């Protein structure tokens, strides 16, 4: 009888010891998030609901958009994962619904990030931070934030992630120095639309302006609640004037846009902003539309 008691005691102690020895990150965690994107155009208000699932190890990030006529049904599905991980490079893979897979190649070299054919130069502190986040932690959100101006021809791929999923407060130690963009000119078969954007900061490290022939971003004003920027963009198809408001407390963005389409000579305008982000942590990846949506009711 005593032997049985000793055996049972040892078994219990062993299981307890094993539970302490197991790494905490051996159990995959997931963050599920929800936000609403509101667009006001010609007096009409449109609300779009987005949900996202972010695994702890970033292996497969999912973004879902509900149908406008049925907020209980997912209309669009966007998948982001990665492959070909090397010491200085990684490839992110995108797929919208059942469409063809598209890829974004990222490479690091001497304070420079190559995103496909584009070149992003950053300072030492930002470079080291991005290497840790992107190469080690496999975080695509850092690439989305770096390319948030939407100048590359991959902007449409990143759009579902280019929202307030992870409000990032600017760090004065992290500086984007310049961007060299090479986009295909859609009016020709063999020409490219190129531009060099240079970023400027004051002595304290605060952003002042970004400037190129076809893109300008200037810090206009700052209040207790907001930082206001003015952005001008143009290419062979459209030109746009944007007022960007960044909430200093939440880092959430809202924009007022006026743009002209050259082919039709028509002008358009709209206002867009997003709701406060709602998040929850779960132990298992949600499998069904209702399971994700019901989490926020």
Determine contact, residues 273/41, Cβ cutoff 8 Å: no
Give the pair of three-digit tokens for residue 268.
């358009």
Name the 3-class secondary structure at 182: strand
Q: For residue 16, which phi and psi values (nearest 5 degrees)? A: -65, -45
Determine contact, residues 269/257, Cβ cutoff 8 Å: yes
Nearest-angstrom CA–CA distance, 273 and 163:
10
Between the CA of residue 189 and those of 66, 184, 228, 237, what are the distances in Å? 36, 8, 39, 15
Give the pair of three-digit tokens for residue 152.
């590359």
Widest distance between CA atoms in the chain: 93
In eight-state DSSP terms, residue 129 is: H
Nearest-angstrom CA–CA distance, 40 and 272:
6
Between the CA of residue 245 and those of 238, 259, 274, what are the distances in Å? 22, 18, 12
Nearest-angstrom CA–CA distance, 215 and 197:
7
Name the 3-class secondary structure at 8: helix
In eight-state DSSP terms, residue 242 is: E
In DSSP terms, 279 is beta-bridged to: 33
Q: What is the pLDDT along the chain (297 residues), one digit of tens a residue?
A: 545 445 444 444 444 444 444 444 456 699 999 999 999 999 999 999 999 999 988 889 999 999 988 999 999 999 999 998 899 999 999 999 999 999 999 999 999 999 999 999 999 999 999 999 999 999 999 999 999 999 998 999 999 999 988 766 678 899 999 999 998 766 665 677 889 999 999 998 899 999 999 999 999 999 999 999 999 998 878 899 999 999 888 778 899 999 998 888 899 999 999 988 999 999 988 887 888 998 888
In eight-state DSSP terms, residue 167 is: -
């Amino acid at each position: 009888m005593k032997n049985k008691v000793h055996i049972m005691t040892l078994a219990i102690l062993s299981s307890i010891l094993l539970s302490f020895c197991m790494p905490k990150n051996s159990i995959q965690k997931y963050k599920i998030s929800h936000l609403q994107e509101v667009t006001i155009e010609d007096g009409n208000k449109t609300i779009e609901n987005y949900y996202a699932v972010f695994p702890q190890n970033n292996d497969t990030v999912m973004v879902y958009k509900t149908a406008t006529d049925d907020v209980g049904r997912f209309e669009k599905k966007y998948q982001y994962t990665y492959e070909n991980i090397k010491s200085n490079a990684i490839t992110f893979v995108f797929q919208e619904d059942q469409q063809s897979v598209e890829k974004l190649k990222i490479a690091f070299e001497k304070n420079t990030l190559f995103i496909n054919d584009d070149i992003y130069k950053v300072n030492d502190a930002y470079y080291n931070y991005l290497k840790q986040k992107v190469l080690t932690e496999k975080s695509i959100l850092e690439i989305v934030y770096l390319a948030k101006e939407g100048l590359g021809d991959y902007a449409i791929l990143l759009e579902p992630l280019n929202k307030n999923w992870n409000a990032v407060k600017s760090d004065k130690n992290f500086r984007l120095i310049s961007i060299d963009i090479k986009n295909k000119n859609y009016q020709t078969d063999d020409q490219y639309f190129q531009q060099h954007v240079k970023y400027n900061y004051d002595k304290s490290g605060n952003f002042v302006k970004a400037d190129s022939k076809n893109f300008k971003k200037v810090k206009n004003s700052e209040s207790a609640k907001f930082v206001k920027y003015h952005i001008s963009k143009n290419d062979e198809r459209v030109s746009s004037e944007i007022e960007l408001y960044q909430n200093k407390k939440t880092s959430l963005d809202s924009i007022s846009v006026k743009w002209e389409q050259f082919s039709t000579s028509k002008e358009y305008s709209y206002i867009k902003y997003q709701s406060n982000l709602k998040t929850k942590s779960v132990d298992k990846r949600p499998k069904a539309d209702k399971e994700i949506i019901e989490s926020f009711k």
